[in-house]
Structure 1
Amino acid sequence: MKHIESVNNPKVKQWKKLLTKKERDNSGTFLIEGFHLVEEAIKQGEQILEIIASEKVGLPPRWDTKGTAVTLVTEEISNLLSETEAPQGIYAVCSQGKPEVRDAKTYLLIDTVQDPGNLGTMIRTADAAGIDAIVVGRGSVDLFNSKVLRSAQGSHFHLPIIRGDLHEWIDKLQEEHIPVYGTALEGASLYTEVSCGDSFALIVGNEGNGVGKDILSSTNANLYIPIYGKSESLNVAVATGILLYYLKK
């Protein structure tokens, strides 16, 4: 077990850089914070590269850290790495990996969602609903943004999440006879009128503009959720939950 005391240590500087998208992309790694996320990474095993713990924090005895490097740091260094108001003093460096989609029947496709809390909640919801894979299209917030990671609550480690071209994925899914449903306010069918089998893909879109029109024109059908009150629309993460659970039932 290593011990680092200087904030000028090269490793500390590298960890700090992982708070930026540029360095996450360059290194193919990301930093997670908090006991729950680190434990989920340990359970998954393959992606976790290194655990970083404040010298004032003990690792839970139930954690199996065999084969994983553990570094103790001062509280000053620990606080330097935190992006939360109440740091727990525990972090891990993880590999982004190259997720593969195998034998998937149900998909969530995400088009230009900007809010990290929304993206994380959608990932967590898809995980809870038993969706097999997620495809995040260009223009969405970074998958490994710290707010996305906290909102997803470890679901990044539970199912494959692919960054890809949604048009290509729609073509691929339809070739495999998997129906693709978009979400729209106009020219769409009430979601409860759709009869869905074991396989489907749902596309949800940007908080302000929804799913792109070019994408909607390629779907098998587009769905809407009725609004009974005075609100103009539903939050995209809430709408995603309603639709995924309906289609999955």
Structure 2
Amino acid sequence: MEKKISSLQNKTVKYLTQLQEKSRTRRKEKRFVIEGFREITLAIEASYELETIYFCNKIFQEKELFTENFSALNVVELSKEVYQKVAYRGSTEGILAIAKAKENDLASLKFKTENPLILVAEAPEKPGNIGAILRTADAAKVDAVLIANPKTDIYNPNIIRSSVGCVFTNQIASGNTSEIISYLKEKNIAIYSAILQDSEIYTNQDFTSATAIIIGTEADGLSEEWRKAATKNIHIPMQGKIDSMNVSVAAGILIFEAKRQRNFD
């Protein structure tokens, strides 16, 4: 591969752009783009395999970081014009990478404890909400985040950006609702579905055993399947005039109650 790319017509430019913009290309190639030094570093720490680092000499100034972190990787310089073409973020650091996607299936999950705390989000659609959920999960250091009936792939650049790299700090898996319910029941993990119908206040529950907290979208809530499968349906008391809150906020309230009961272990 060239060590410097300055033409917008270069085939690598088209490839990078397609990986950024098209979920279909990411799925087919099983690759995605990471922007930003912090995000790239977190991906490396999470054992993601990086193929190539691209940087713009006029933007990225921390050259010594290459020697410290990327010496074993293929590094290619991009002209400023090319970099601005392939970069997804408006304010960027002048560095991006192509990485190989992980399978992120239920079979790949591994827990270090017999009482894992799992956050399940059903059919989240907005990348910003997904990113915020992943940041919440990272802050609470949950054991896994499961995405049921995903509407977008987890390597969408907007998710990577809004999660500030927490795509890489969380253990993530996806599947359809039925598959995830079966998985949780097979592992004897209690299911607490955040839903208004037939529910109890969340503070009256015991989240100290193996626990999965299930959240739905603000618009549609959780599917009936989760209500029927739940060990308990739970709700957060609403004292204002609306009956819903942002999904990442709800996730934070429920997850940190579980962490409080576990003495933040």
Same topology, TM > 0.5: yes
Alignment of 1:1-249 (within 5 A): 2-19=3-20, 20-56=22-58, 57-62=60-65, 63-99=68-104, 100-103=108-111, 105-249=116-260
How far off is 1:150 after superposition?
0.9
Distance 1:147 1:72 in 2: 24
User: Could you list the per-position Cα deviations for residues 55-102 of structure 1 after superposition, in whole angstroms to 9, with x for gaps in the alignment?
Assistant: 212345244112211110001111011222223221111111224211
Kept in 2, the 8 Å contact 1:111–1:140? The answer is: no
What's the secondary structure of 1:217's corresponding residue?
Answer: helix
- Aligned twin of 2:263: none
User: Could you list the per-position Cα deviations for residues 197-242 of structure 1 after superposition, in whole angstroms to 9, with x for gaps in the alignment?
Assistant: 2410111112201111122211111111111223331100100011
Distance 2:230 2:63 in 1: 48
Give the TM-score taking structure 1 as reference length: 0.93
Distance 1:135 1:181 in 2: 14
Distance 1:214 1:237 in 2: 21
Kept in 2, the 8 Å contact 1:127–1:155? The answer is: yes
Structure 2 residues not aligned, in runs of 5+: 261-265
Distance 1:203 1:174 in 2: 14
Letter in 2 for 1:46: Y
Give the TM-score taking structure 2 as reference length: 0.88
What's the secondary structure of 2:229's corresponding residue?
Answer: coil
Letter in 1 for 2:61: G
Q: Which moved more, 1:39-48 or 1:208-217?
A: 39-48
How far off is 1:3 after superposition?
0.9
Distance 2:258 2:178 in 1: 21
Distance 2:23 2:47 in 1: 23
Distance 2:237 2:63 in 1: 47
Distance 1:173 1:42 in 2: 29
Task: Spell out structure 1 runs of 4+ moving beyond 6 A.
Answer: none
What's the secondary structure of 2:84's corresponding residue?
Answer: helix
Distance 1:157 1:38 in 2: 9
Kept in 1, the 8 Å contact 2:117–2:143? The answer is: yes
| Cα distance change, pair 18–72 in 1 and its aligned pair in 2 (3 A) | same
Distance 1:55 1:87 in 2: 13
When the two chains are superposed, the root-mean-square deviation of aligned CA atoms in Å is: 1.7
